[in-house]
Amino acid sequence: MKELVVISGKGGTGKTSIVASFAALAQNAVLADCDVDAADLHLILEPRVKQTSDFIGGKQASVVTEKCIGCGKCEDVCNFDAVFFNGQANDVVEKTYTIDPIACEGCGVCTYFCQNDAIEFKDTVNGQWFISDTRFGPMVHAKLGIAEENSGKLVSLIRKETKRIAEEQKKDLIIVDGSPGIGCPVIASITGADIVLIVTEPTLSGKHDLERVAELAAGFNIPTLIAINKFDLNPDMVTQIEEDARKRNMKVIGKIRYDKAFTKAQIMKCSVVEYTGGAVTEDIKALWRNVTYAF
């Protein structure tokens, strides 16, 4: 079983549209949407959810107002500016402490040091994750709660479940839709993957972001391939990206032309390769062939 992770550095380069097309072209694949804080793959693949589970990402502290003695120890020990002296009065004091759930990092230090056991520390549900069926096979995806944390942990969970399903159903390929950037969810998506495909665009921003994300992938020693979307936007930049890639021992294995079919397919809830038989679909098919050769 092989795992392909599609990332981009820069957002909006076409990762999800390309992953949806790969899903249509691949046979025997399990799909995972690891762009958990702005997941879009489900809009194309229309998964039928078979199983929903809560995602418990960590813990959160909250003050039990009746027990608070207003000593302020919690505020002293909190490194995240999450404690406020703005709570209601109780039998003991005029004002009590509260904890801002958005600012709380779930470290538990305030709970430990509270002299009156007035701070609860409970598991928090940060979102939901789903096992679904799509017209192209099983898919694991998630919805991170609004303003929630632990996206990296959720990504690791999704990948683990995807692997389990792939093993159970004897699928030989996993295709992961990753997130933009180079931070925690991206690191969680590529750690231990077999191949990373970076989708970029021929713009200075795309090139700059590609350099950073390529360096990240190189640090993990994962074979990395590059695809350039909207290649006809700026031919000079395509040449520069190809030269940079060569220097890094990475290969540009596909180029996709700019085509309104990307947007039109989205509106029709289908992948580009399902939407049109045109030249852009040939570009994507050629890219997919080169990805499969790489395995």
Partner 1 sequence: MKIAIASGKGGTGKTTIATNLAYVIAQMGRQVQYLDCDVEEPNGHIFLRPEVEKTEQVTVTVPEVDLTKCTGCGKCGQLCQYSAIVSLKETVLTFEQLCHSCGGCMLVCPEKAITEKQKVIGFLDQGNSGDVNFVQGRLQIGDVRSSALIKCVKQKINGNEVSIIDAPPGTSCPVIEAVKGVDFVLLVTEPTPFGLNDLRLAVDMVRQLKLPLSILLNRSDIGDDRVHKYCQNEGINIVTELPNDRRIAEAYSSGQMIVEALPEYKKHFVKLAEELEVL
User: Closer CB to partner 1, residue 219 or residue 278?
Assistant: 219
- Of 105 and 133, the one with the shorter C-beta distance to partner 1 is 105
- Residues sharing a CB contact under 8 Å with residue 219, sequence separation 6 or more, in sequence order: none
131, 139, 144, 190: which one contacts partner 1 (CB under 8 A)?
144
Q: How far is the CB of 167 from partner 1 (least distance, A)?
A: 26
Total residue length of the chain: 295
Between the CA of residue 211 and those of 7, 85, 208, 224, 235, what are the distances in Å? 13, 46, 5, 12, 18
For tokens 């999704």, the residue is: 158
Residue with the two structure tokens 């998506």: 189
Residue numbers 75-114 binding partner 1 by CB under 8 A: 77, 79-80, 102, 105-109, 112-113
**Quick one: DSSP state of residue 270?**
S
What CA–CA distance (Å, rounded) separates 71 from 92? Answer: 11
Q: Which stretch binds partner 1 (CB under 8 A): 5-13, 23-31, 156-164, 282-290?
A: 5-13
Element (H, E) at 111: helix 109-113
- Report if residue 184 touches partner 1, rule: CB under 8 A: yes
Applying the rule CB under 8 A, the residues between 20 and 79 that interact with partner 1 are 36-38, 40, 43, 58-59, 77, 79
We find the least distance from the C-beta atom of residue 168 to partner 1, in angstroms, to be 29
Q: Is residue 5 classed as helix, strand or coil in its secondary structure? A: strand
Judged by CB, which is closer to partner 1: 93, or 184?
Answer: 184
Residue 44 · residue 250 · CB < 8 Å: no
- Work out which of 215, 239, 278, 289 binds partner 1, going by CB under 8 A: 215
Task: Kindly state the greatest CA–CA separation across the chain.
Answer: 75
- Distance between CA atoms of residues 44 and 267, nearest Å: 9
Q: How far is the CB of 179 from partner 1 (least distance, A)?
A: 7
* Residues in contact with partner 1 by the rule CB under 8 A: 8-13, 16, 36-38, 40, 43, 58-59, 77, 79-80, 102, 105-109, 112-113, 144, 146-149, 151-152, 179-187, 201-206, 208-209, 212-213, 215-216, 219, 230, 233-234, 236-237, 260, 263, 266-267, 269
